[in-house]
Amino acid sequence: KAAEQVLAKSPTACAVTLTSLRRARVAGSLEEVLNEEFRVSVACLGSADLVEGIRAQVVDKDRNPRWSPATLDDVTDDVVAQFFTPLGDLELGLTAPQPQH
């Protein structure tokens, strides 16, 4: 039942979330994970699927989002990678604490 609920969500968001979790598992610090999470969050704000999800749930209330792409199989690695692109001057910029001597 949980899998059905997840699979009903944006395929792009599902793929990005899985990638984010996998990258967080091997990250060198909490700060690195938070910087990347900020990057992904900013990218999500510009996602067509965010707008479509709001349309389906809040505006039209038809509860029938038309995701783009429509399936997980159609989500390419390049699409996922775009969510992790550095933001330049807009980066969160957290740094790991320096060891005390």
Alpha-carbon span 77 to 56, nearest angstrom: 26
Peptide bond into 69 cis (omega under 30): yes
This prediction has a pTM of 0.88
pLDDT along the chain (101 residues), means of 10: 90 97 96 96 96 95 95 96 95 81 70
Q: Where are the domains of the chain?
A: 2-87
pLDDT of residue 95: 85
Alpha-carbon span 69 to 75, nearest angstrom: 6
Read off the DSSP letter of residue 91: -
Identify the sign of the CA torsion 75, 56, 1, 6: positive
